[in-house]
Structure 1
Amino acid sequence: MAEDTQQWYASWFDSPFYHILYKDRDHSEAQLFMDNLTEYLNVPEHGKILDLACGKGRHSMYLNSLGYDVTGVDLSKNSIDYAKQFENDTLHFDVHDMCKPYGKTFDAVFNLFTSFGYFENEDDNLKTIKAIKANLNDYGFGVIDFMNTDFVIDNLVAENVKTVEGIDFHQKRHVEDGYIIKTITFNANGEDYEFQEHVRALTLNDFKILFEKAGVYLLDVFGDYKLNAFHKNTSERLVMIFK
């Protein structure tokens, strides 16, 4: 089984079922977030943005439509192959591991929608922040948009079923050894599938320790996509701006 020979996210994020399950994610909310973020950061006109773990490139494309020069990178070859059809002079996609510096510098590096904390090796979290630092120019800002772990755990839905395109996705969630684990089981085309998502239950404090070790400075913390203040018990997101 492929799942045994590679880290879980490599097979699940490359699976067509991943994109089916999450296809109804709120585009307008994401676009509002991009608008607010680029305005707040005052990213220069035609500024260069690196979108880390860009998936199929939806947010990269939107940022590009705002006039920015965008590079989207992701570990999933399938996703990048799909995104490449939308490339233009100021929009590029590349298969890249975000634990390593990309080799160019940018006005902003975005890691959005909880695309962090997946690594089985704890060191990779620190390596990713160091890589983001290496990818920033002298005036650049890094942004990590993570879940607010305290809020998520307090409001964890233990079990539910989500039906998309005629597939019943059975989702179970629990916390174990510092990870929030979601088990997804379903039957498609007469075959049974099971995938798991493991996300490290990192808190703001955990990030502060990582930032200190990486030698970056936390400048601002927001609790939602409208960039309201962060509150540990009620905010849905943990949006961190650093350099």
Structure 2
Amino acid sequence: MSEKENQKSNWYASWFDTPYYHILYKDRDNTEARLFMDNITQYLNLPEQAKILDLACGKGRHSIYLNELGYDVTGADLSENSIAEARKHENESLHFVVHDMRQPCAEQFDAVLNLFTSFGYFEDDADNTRTLVAIKESLNETGFAVIDFMNATHVINNLVPEETKTIDGITFNIKRYYADGHIFKEIDFEDQGNAYHFTERVQALTLSDFENMMEEAGIFLLDIFGDYKLRKYHKTESERLVMIFK
């Protein structure tokens, strides 16, 4: 299977839709994710039963927990397979939809959350601005939005060039590098006699990049944090770049 066949037109559309993506990342820290959701919802001072849009929700781990906290949650993702899996958890106040984040939603929300570096994948830079505009248009008058992105400077300075992980009997060989303003992760593995290769590519967007895009999109950046405990952002030391805007 060639890389082109595997990746189709957009690498994220194919890789995120494979079962292997979820196998590789199955050990993500839910405790840390829940701590972040606790902290961010308290910081935003959301009303009871607030309507939240979890944009690029994957299989819905954040959405499900936010719903457990009492919020009315819609999880949206481009991956049909992820949404099909997430829909197993639906209830009266938890819904999942297949949706392109570059398009605004039909309804408006008290909060729009874009979590775990689910931004900066597009080929065309203009799509980043389109996404920010779509987020703004998906907020109600009193709503706030949150983008939780990697701190690119910290990531580049601490890249692990090569790593091997064996999960569910599959050995993933991973290479990471920075080039052309992007952070790349090359993933090679074999399963049932077939060899697979995927490349993750994310723009190494900095705070100043976001500030410029937000200005273009008519967005007001209100606050910045450097981790999931909402501590101060430091350009070189912080692991995350968490931005609050409206």
Q: TM-score, normalised by structure 1?
A: 0.99
1:127-206 alignment, distance < 5 Å: 127-206=130-209
Report whether the alignment pairs 1:68 with 2:68.
no
1:1-243 alignment, distance < 5 Å: 2-3=5-6, 5-243=8-246
Report the Cα offset of residue 74 of structure 1.
Answer: 0.2
Report the Cα offset of residue 5 of structure 1.
Answer: 3.4
User: What SS is found at the alignment partner of 1:233?
Assistant: coil
The one-letter code matched in structure 1 to 2:57 is C
The one-letter code matched in structure 2 to 1:152 is V
- How far apart, in 2, do the equivalents of 1:19 and 1:5 lie? 19
Report the aligned-residue RMSD.
0.8
Unaligned runs of 5+ in 2: none
Report the Cα offset of residue 161 of structure 1.
Answer: 0.6
- How far apart, in 1, do the equivalents of 2:7 and 2:197 lie? 13
Report the Cα offset of residue 4 of structure 1.
Answer: 5.2
Q: How many residues align?
A: 243
- How far apart, in 2, do the equivalents of 1:132 and 1:24 lie? 29
- The answer to whether the 8 A contact 2:176-2:186 is kept is yes
- The answer to whether the 8 A contact 1:168-1:187 is kept is yes
User: What SS is found at the alignment partner of 1:226?
Assistant: coil
User: What SS is found at the alignment partner of 2:65?
Assistant: helix
Report the Cα offset of residue 6 of structure 1.
Answer: 2.2
- The answer to whether the 8 A contact 2:7-2:15 is kept is no
- How far apart, in 2, do the equivalents of 1:133 and 1:29 lie? 27
- How far apart, in 1, do the equivalents of 2:8 and 2:220 lie? 37
User: What SS is found at the alignment partner of 1:100?
Assistant: coil
